[in-house]
Structure 1
Amino acid sequence: MSDASFPYDGPEDLRQPVTAALSRVVDPEVALNIVDIGLVYGVRIEADRLELRLTMTSAACPVADVIVDDAAAELERVLPAEIGVEVELVWEPAWTPERMSERARRFMRW
């Protein structure tokens, strides 16, 4: 599991399954999960919907659609059926390497 964190607003019993699901989503360009890279900007869960705010390392990321689809699929696997998933791709604030976890920094040798 990742040592990185992101803002989470939702039922406490879903925090760990949601974090684990997002940690299974790998950015194929860097071979690291999106939590460790720092691409997850926040999760909010309301009665019937999970809102995921996600960014990419670059607006020109060629695998953005793959990452968004994988994140939604992993979340749908762990959420109750009545909770839908909505992914918002955001660009502010811009991603920087400082968002990476220590694990990701070691992997990248930074």
Structure 2
Amino acid sequence: MPTVDDVQDALTNVIDPELGLDFVELGLIYTVEVEGGDVFVTFTLTSPGCPIGPQVSEQIEEFVSELDGVTAVHPKMTFTPAWTPELMSEEAKFALGY
């Protein structure tokens, strides 16, 4: 069974195509829950108008399902709370000039 850390590591492969940084560094992954072989990932986008939601869900499923013990991946997009640059890691803030 994967750990939350294993899932977080896999999610670093999900890259925002516009910003070139991964969703974990950008603070776009809100929650990760592991229940047996089921993995639930709640994420957001930088804005509600961003068109990449379906692509991100597919990438989350692709990368997380590669982990040993994962039987199903359940991505869920939300806009509550709204994403702000303060959610980014220090490295991402530096890279983007915040």
Structure 1-normalised TM-score?
Answer: 0.82
Structure 1 gaps of 5+ residues are 1-10
Aligned equivalent of 2:80: 92
Greater shift in the superposed pair: 15-24 or 95-104 = 15-24
Q: Partners in 2 of 1:100 and 1:14 — Cα distance? A: 22
2 CA distance for matches of 1:99 and 1:79?
Answer: 29
Find out whether 1:55 has 2:57 as its counterpart.
no
Aligned length: 98
Rounded to whole Å, the distance in 2 between the matches of 1:18 and 1:86 is: 12
Shift of 1:49: 1.2
Q: Give the Cα–Cα distance (whole angstroms) in 1 for the partners of residues 27 and 33 of structure 2.
A: 17
Among all aligned residue pairs of Structure 1 and Structure 2, give the percentage whose two residues are the same amino acid: 31
Unaligned runs of 5+ in 2: none
- CA RMSD in angstroms, aligned pairs only: 1.5
Q: Verify: 1:77 aligned to 2:66, yes or no.
A: yes
Q: Which moved more, 1:42-51 or 1:24-33?
A: 42-51
Q: Which runs of 4+ in 1 moved over 3 A?
A: none
Counterparts of 1:18 and 1:80, CA distance in 2: 11
